[in-house]
Structure 1
Amino acid sequence: MSGNIVAIGLEGIVVAETDLSLVDGQNGLLVYRGHWARDLAIHHTFEEVAHLLWYGHLPNEQELGRLKDALKANRALPAHVKAAIDAIPADVDMMSVLRSGVSLLGESGHGWPPTLDQVIALTAKLPTIVAYRKARLDGRTPLEPRADLDHTANYLYMLKGEEPNPAHVRALDAYLILTQEHGLNASTFTARVIASTQSDLISAITGAIGSLKGPLHGGAPSEVTEMIEAIGTKENAEPWIRAKLEKGERLMGFGHRIYKTIDPRAKALSVVAAELSAGDPWFDLATHVEKVGMQLLEEYKPGRKLHTNVEFFAAAVMRAVGLADELFTPTFAVSRVVGWSAHVLEQAKNNRIIRPQSNYTGSMPE
């Protein structure tokens, strides 16, 4: 009954101020605390960029060493979390397992306000939850974390059960940097809403994982892989994509709700992926699909500016490093927990409960 203007999906509505990141979709810009995200991905490591988002500056050697040590010291899972994961049926998806595992980490001391120590401990455990579950599903004995490996290398080691390839570590590290933070997206907004009630960090991150689980937010890379596999050969790329567009269907990995020009994350990741996968037939096909897709999108949807997004090249990188499709979105969560927790800390510093209004459209009583 109210006459308030409704912004469906809160599009265009500013609900927070942040110094964590700038996402400029019109100009294709992504900035983390005064640094270009693409440069961070090419020249820095996961831990360095996490330090930037959590502490406000890139670390010196001593600061980086302290953060690495803290992450390594907190990787192991409590026995009750392992037991709970073991009890979850095998047909339950990995994101649901991750959500359940994180929810069980809310030990005493996780009250209000959240702390950096809590953030570091939680970030350290997300890869272990995913790797532990993957090992159980594969019938392997889960590996314990290795203190001689940094965050991304240890994740690959626990997932695959073998010494990680340095090139694979570098490529996955770049991906994890580029997905650490991305403004007030659906999952980050979820985390901030929960935090604004003065709930604990674990509750906020559990909610964010639930939001990321939705296919409109975190499911695109695996769908890109499915598309490229369905195309199969370079010769089939044009007729397959043309048939898809003739039906009015969407090409996965092309276009972004925010970016109206080239996704800056895709630009950086394409460089890393090309270096990693030179000569790889699957990546060669993916590159050809990108070229044909761009040409046909301009033909069928002129002026729409539907460029390849980060999910397209995320699929290329994750396939190259040997991650199964069901690990794509959980791996996204392994990185995005850095941004989620940075937003929770920021919300706590100047908190006010997030409470939007709604217009009543029902009938009035007689």
Structure 2
Amino acid sequence: MTKGLAGVVAADTVLSEVDGAGGRLIIRGYPVEQLAGHLAYEAAAALLLEGFADTGNSAAFSAAIGQGRVAAYERFHGRLDGIAGTLDPVEAMRMLLAGIGDADPLAEPAALIGAAGVAAALAICRAEGRVMSRPDAALPHALDLLRLIAGTMPDAALVRAFETYLVAVIDHGLNASTFTARVVASTEAGLPSALIAALSALKGRLHGGAPGPVLDMLDSIGSADQAEAWIEQRIAAGERIMGFGHRAYRVRDPRADVLRQALRELGEGEGRLAFAAAVERAALGVLARRKAGRRLDVNVEFYTALLLERLAIPRAAFTAVFAIGRSAGWIAHALEQQRDGNLIRPDARYVGPQPLARAG
């Protein structure tokens, strides 16, 4: 039996393929490099949902996402008052989204994408002690959400970088949170139930919690000339080097290159980017020596951390921002699973004690 279901095919999908050996991510027939940085988030979401939801009119689909943001704000506004300090942003998101019933108008795919974004923005603002302004349904999704999170109107270059990130992480095969969404959808629960379940899976440290610690690592290293020694010490102690290695990829994660290019196009913060590049080179050299039997390359978390830092998004909010991008992927997989119609119900091998035979 394969532990963790690694290598077990649990679904047929048209949505995305992770080619770990070739270092490719294909989304509905397109390499991720052709989508991220080139398509608006609404267009990428429509591409994923094509055939599973009404996306034929791109303007209407985009408008429905915007209207979902406004409707969600009206529903969610004030619900975190007095309790936000006890919840991290993902927990606050989960609480807000739990108020959407499976038959609710906000449970429609486009509206639910908008609702997930507003839930994240509200949760982030509350965690920062700020009151979020009202969404603007007429604005593009990435622009409006970055405006809400930042509290000011961002410039076009920052919006482009943020949108590149959202599209780069929109879907990624049958990862833990996406599989969770499909399991829930297979029971014929509605889309909000599948979305909340996926969000709960994402919250775990082994899935969605790594980008923040990348920055902690860079802060701890301090300067490029300390990188090699710092990494050597951590590997000798059996610690993981954050931002390197991926369960699926045996070569470089293609999303890392997309995000590195997005950072370069911002044209600022070059000192930070140069330092990160030096750490990357040092880490790859040490890993090649110390882990010679295993290829460990940079992954999406490394440049995600740098990009979100450049966008002034708090580290504690990184997982919630990831959920903004991935929400369309979760919804698409849930709809695909519902169309398939099969309940996901694997077997378990019992390894516990057997009942004792009765004496006499």
TM-score in terms of structure 1 length: 0.92
Instruction: Indicate the residue corresponding to 1:86 in structure 2.
Output: 81
- Of 67, 81, 86 in structure 2, the residue corresponding to residue 73 of structure 1 is 67
Of 146-155 and 77-86, deviating more is 77-86
- Of 247, 254, 277 in structure 1, the residue corresponding to residue 237 of structure 2 is 247
Amino acid corresponding to residue 167 of structure 2 in structure 1:
I
The answer to whether structure 1 residue 314 and structure 2 residue 304 are counterparts is yes
Aligned residues: 354
Q: Secondary structure at the match of 1:23?
A: strand
Instruction: Indicate the residue corresponding to 2:38 in structure 1.
Output: 43
Instruction: Indicate the residue corresponding to 1:286 in structure 2.
Output: 276
Q: Secondary structure at the match of 1:323?
A: coil
List per-residue Cα deviations over 1:36-56 (Å, max 9, x = no partner): 111111321211111100015
Question: Partners in 2 of 1:185 and 1:141 — Cα distance?
Answer: 34
Question: Partners in 1 of 2:83 and 2:140 — Cα distance?
Answer: 29
Instruction: Indicate the residue corresponding to 2:48 in structure 1.
Output: 53
The answer to whether structure 1 residue 275 and structure 2 residue 265 are counterparts is yes
Question: Partners in 1 of 2:48 and 2:114 — Cα distance?
Answer: 16
Question: Partners in 1 of 2:216 and 2:262 — Cα distance?
Answer: 22
Mapping of residues 76-225 of structure 1, within 5 Å: 76=70, 77=72, 79=74, 81-106=76-101, 108-109=103-104, 118-225=108-215
Of 31-40 and 268-277, deviating more is 268-277
Using the TM superposition, give the Cα deviation of residue 279 of structure 1 relative to its aligned residue in structure 2, in angstroms: 4.6
Instruction: Indicate the residue corresponding to 2:57 in structure 1.
Output: 63
Question: Partners in 1 of 2:299 and 2:73 — Cα distance?
Answer: 37
Question: Partners in 1 of 2:127 and 2:285 — Cα distance?
Answer: 41
Mark the CA change 1:69 to 1:52 in structure 2 (over 3 Å): closer, same or farther. Answer: same
Instruction: Indicate the residue corresponding to 1:228 in structure 2.
Output: 218
RMSD: 2.0
Question: Partners in 1 of 2:84 and 2:269 — Cα distance?
Answer: 40
- Aligned partners of 2:185 and 2:334 also within 8 Å: yes
Query: What are structure 2's unaligned runs of at least 5 residues?
Result: none
Question: Partners in 2 of 1:19 and 1:107 — Cα distance?
Answer: 25
Using the TM superposition, give the Cα deviation of residue 222 of structure 1 relative to its aligned residue in structure 2, in angstroms: 0.5
Mark the CA change 1:98 to 1:344 in structure 2 (over 3 Å): closer, same or farther. Answer: same
Instruction: Indicate the residue corresponding to 1:3 in structure 2.
Output: none
Question: Matched residues, percent identical?
Answer: 38
Q: Secondary structure at the match of 1:338?
A: helix
The answer to whether structure 1 residue 330 and structure 2 residue 320 are counterparts is yes
Mark the CA change 1:124 to 1:165 in structure 2 (over 3 Å): closer, same or farther. Answer: same
Using the TM superposition, give the Cα deviation of residue 85 of structure 1 relative to its aligned residue in structure 2, in angstroms: 1.9
Using the TM superposition, give the Cα deviation of residue 78 of structure 1 relative to its aligned residue in structure 2, in angstroms: 5.5
Question: Partners in 1 of 2:122 and 2:15 — Cα distance?
Answer: 31
List per-residue Cα deviations over 1:138-167 (Å, max 9, x = no partner): 333320012342111111100111111211
Q: Secondary structure at the match of 2:326?
A: helix
Amino acid corresponding to residue 67 of structure 2 in structure 1:
A
Question: Partners in 2 of 1:69 and 1:154 — Cα distance?
Answer: 13
- Aligned partners of 1:33 and 1:56 also within 8 Å: no
- Aligned partners of 1:277 and 1:283 also within 8 Å: no
Question: Partners in 1 of 2:79 and 2:148 — Cα distance?
Answer: 19
Instruction: Indicate the residue corresponding to 2:25 in structure 1.
Output: 30
List per-residue Cα deviations over 1:248-275 (Å, max 9, x = no partner): 2110000000000111111222111222
Question: Partners in 2 of 1:45 and 1:163 — Cα distance?
Answer: 18
Amino acid corresponding to residue 255 of structure 1 in structure 2:
G
- Aligned partners of 2:161 and 2:263 also within 8 Å: yes
Of 274-283 and 255-264, deviating more is 274-283
Question: Partners in 1 of 2:305 and 2:142 — Cα distance?
Answer: 17
Question: Partners in 2 of 1:175 and 1:135 — Cα distance?
Answer: 20
Using the TM superposition, give the Cα deviation of residue 342 of structure 1 relative to its aligned residue in structure 2, in angstroms: 0.2
List per-residue Cα deviations over 1:118-149 (Å, max 9, x = no partner): 11111101221222233334333320012342
Mark the CA change 1:312 to 1:78 in structure 2 (over 3 Å): closer, same or farther. Answer: closer
Q: Secondary structure at the match of 1:307?
A: coil
Question: Partners in 2 of 1:78 and 1:44 — Cα distance?
Answer: 26
Question: Partners in 2 of 1:308 and 1:219 — Cα distance?
Answer: 16
Q: Secondary structure at the match of 2:86?
A: coil
Question: Partners in 1 of 2:346 and 2:42 — Cα distance?
Answer: 36
Question: Partners in 1 of 2:261 and 2:131 — Cα distance?
Answer: 36
- Of 13, 20, 36 in structure 2, the residue corresponding to residue 18 of structure 1 is 13
Question: Partners in 2 of 1:49 and 1:245 — Cα distance?
Answer: 39
List per-residue Cα deviations over 1:176-219 (Å, max 9, x = no partner): 11111011110011011111111111111110000000010001
Instruction: Indicate the residue corresponding to 1:357 in structure 2.
Output: 347
